Amino acid sequence: MNPSDFDYHLFGTHVRFGDGVSTSVGAELRALGLSRPVVLTQDRIATSGHYAAILQALRDATVLERRGIPPHSSVSLIETMAPDVAAFGADCVIAVGGGSVADSAKALALLLAEGGRLADHVTVFRPPSTVEIPLRTRPKLPIIAIPCTASGAEVTSSFGVRDGGHDKRMFWNRQVSASTILIDPVLARDVAMPTMRYTAMNGIAHCLEGLYSRGRSIVSDGMAVQAMGLFQHALCTPALDEAAQRRLILAAAHLAGMVLSMARSCLHHAICHVLGARHSLPHGLVNTVILPHALRFNEETAAPLLAPALDVVNRQGQREYARLSQWLQDVAQELSLPRRLRDIGVAEGELPDLARHVMTERGLALNPRPVADAADVLAILRQAF
């Protein structure tokens, strides 16, 4: 066993981290008394030998496969899939992939249990700070998550699904976080290194927003600082080979996902949800571009809360930074990641409409600095353009 592997049970969830743990999925089914999983994944993952090994590990189960989960998922896909899964008699959902697959599994579990349309269960944000979450308590199918990126979605009770108008609808239900999480660095070998790095920037966003969210606590703070050290080591240590980088990124992302689950997200993620859904852009990529600018908006208000993360970055790095926003810009530059909205296909004329849509996002409720109106968001978008 690698010294950095881990295996623990917490609040009813079993988490395993280590090379090859994804092939223990059959044993996890047996431990939970389950035998009829529906397996969700993305097309690019479905063609890999590692995914074939997961299916082989499920040879004693009766499996329904659903490939082709799109970025940001899809309301129509989930609503079309649910009757087939119900007719199959699935007793659990296995999600193999990134955040969109994890969110699809949660949406499917919610809809199968509660019925109706997904829109019946959506979280509603009423400015400036009211979030209304429908009470939905019927038992949900257990979810077994096998993540391949640094999204951290497998540990949260929150999820987003894109509707036909390209808006991302947000949901929360305490029963949809995974019952088993198998984090296998071997699977991440099928993910391009630039993708791993920009999903890591999403994980960093979970940490930093968690540190200044109005939902923060001493528990989420501790995990955020620990994760920041792992992310900094993974992204800023030239001597590390790619396998070591992937392992560190996935471990850090797990901690960062728990930070998100506890403290929840703020303005930065509100912007990213709108941009990603409306332009079909990967969530991690949008995070990479927006985070330094959204962070700069909050740094004046939240600098004392961000200080522990800044201390980690400065202690482990080669130079000292006065602000985390500058460190993030330098990391993106050194890793040759996109840093401007214009570079990822966003037109300047679209920025005002995007800013208006951000004002409907629930992440604004927990932001440490009040977002007065769309002009505040538009200023951030213009800085990022």
pLDDT confidence of residue 317: 83
**Number of residues that this document lists for the chain:** 385
Lowest mean pLDDT among 27-31, 126-130, 319-323, 366-370: 126-130
**What pTM does this model have?**
0.94
Please write the tens of the pLDDT for every residue from 86-113.
999 999 999 999 999 999 999 999 999 9
In sequence order, what are the residues at sequence separation of 6 or more whose Cβ sits closer than 8 angstroms to the Cβ of residue 220? 210, 211, 213, 258, 259, 262, 263
Please write the tens of the pLDDT for every residue from 305-349.
999 999 999 999 888 999 999 999 999 999 999 999 999 999 999
Work out the pLDDT band at 183, boundaries 50, 70, 90.
very high
Q: Encoding tokens for residue 260?
A: 């998100």
Provide the residue ranges of all domains of the chain, joining segments of one domain with +: 14-187, 192-384
Q: Which helix (H) or strand (E) holds 352?
A: helix 351-358
Work out the pLDDT band at 1, boundaries 50, 70, 90.
low
Phi-psi region of 73 (alpha: psi -120 to 50; beta: other; left: phi over 0): left
pLDDT of 225 strictly over 90: yes
Handedness of CA 72, 77, 81, 83 (dihedral sign): positive
pLDDT confidence of residue 2: 83
The pLDDT mean for the chain works out to 95
Query: Domain 14-187 carries which CATH code?
Result: 3.40.50.1970
Where b means 16+ CB within 10 Å and e means fewer, 82-108 reads beebeeeebbbbbbbbbbbbbbbbbbb
Indicate the fold that domain 192-384 takes in CATH: Dehydroquinate synthase-like, alpha domain (1.20.1090)
Q: What DSSP string describes 108-141? A: HHHHHHH-S-GGGG--EEETTTEEE-----S---
Where b means 16+ CB within 10 Å and e means fewer, 143-152 reads bbbbbbbbbb
